[in-house]
A and B are shown apart, each in its own frame.
Chain A
Amino acid sequence: MADILTVAFLVTLVQATVRMATPLLFTALGEAMSERTGVLNIGLEGIMLIGAFTGFAVTFYTGANWVGTVAALIAGGLVGLAFAAVCVTLRSNQVIVGAALNMLGIGLTGFLYRKYFTASATSILIERYEAIAIPGLSRLPIIGPALFQQNILVYIAFALVPIAAFVLHKTSWGLEIIAAGQHPKAADTVGINVFRVRYIAVIVGGMLAALGGSFLSMGHSVTFLEGMTTGRGFISLAVVIFGRWSPFGVLAAALLFGCANAFQLRLQAMGVAIPHYIVLMIPYIFTILAVVVASKRITAAPAALAQPYEKV
Chain B
Amino acid sequence: MNRFREFFRTQLAKPLTAVGLALIIGALLLWLAGYDVPKAYFALANAAFFDYHYVADGLLKTTPLILLGAGVAFAFKANVFNIGAEGQMYIGALAATWFATRLDWPGFALLPLIILAGAIGGGLWAALPGYLKARLGVSEVITTIMMNYIAIELTGLLLSGPLQELDRVYPRSDPILAGARLPFILPGTRLHLGFLLAILLAVGLSYLLLRTVFGYEARAVGLSPTAARTSGVNVQATILKTMLVSGGLAGIAGAVELSGVTHQMFKHFSAGQGYDAIAVALVAGNSPIGVIFSGWLFGVMRAGSNLMQRSAGVSWSFVYVFQALVVVFIAISGHLKVREWLAALKGGMARG
Contacts and interface: CB of A to CB of B under 8 A. Distances in A.
Interface in B329-343: 331-332, 334-336
A281 B83 contact: no
A169 interface: no
Most buried by B among A40, A109, A235, A277: A277
B150 A99 contact: no
Interface in A273-312: 273-274, 277-278, 280-281, 284-285, 287-288, 291-292, 295-296, 306
Nearest to A108: B321
B154 A281 contact: yes
Contacts of A115: 33, 315
B163 interface: no
Contact of A96 (B33, B282, B316, B321): B282
A216 interface: no
A281 B83 CA distance: 18
Task: Please report whether the interface of chain B is mostly helix, strand, loop or mixed according to DSSP.
Answer: helix
B328 A97 contact: yes
B223 to A, nearest CB: 15
B103 to A, nearest CB: 26
Nearest to B144: A288
A86 B330 CA distance: 11
A231 interface: yes
B323 A241 contact: no
Contacts of A291: 132, 138-139, 142-143
- Give the size category of B's interface with A: 35 or more
Interface string B247-276: 000000000000000000000000010011
Given A100-B324, A291-B138, A95 B81 contact: yes
A306 B325 CA distance: 21
Contacts of A288: 132, 142-143, 146-147
A96 B332 CA distance: 10
Contacts of B278: 96, 99
Pick the most buried of A97, A101, A288: most chain B CB atoms within 10 A of its CB.
A288
Interface in B145-161: 145-150, 153-154, 156-157, 160-161
Nearest to A40: B141
A99 B83 contact: yes
A295 B137 contact: yes
A157 interface: no
Interface in B301-333: 314-325, 327-328, 331-332
Contacts of A144: none
Interface in B27-53: 29, 33
A225 to B, nearest CB: 13
B109 interface: no
A113 B33 CA distance: 12
A42 interface: yes
A107 B321 contact: yes
A296 B153 contact: no
B40 to A, nearest CB: 12
Interface of B: 29, 33, 81, 83, 132, 136-139, 141-143, 145-150, 153-154, 156-157, 160-161, 272, 275-276, 278-279, 282, 314-325, 327-328, 331-332, 334-336
27 contacts: A42-B141, A90-B335, A90-B336, A97-B327, A97-B328, A97-B331, A99-B83, A99-B278, A99-B327, A103-B275, A104-B328, A107-B320, A107-B324, A111-B314, A111-B317, A113-B315, A238-B142, A274-B161, A277-B157, A280-B149, A280-B156, A281-B150, A288-B147, A292-B138, A295-B136, A296-B136, A306-B139
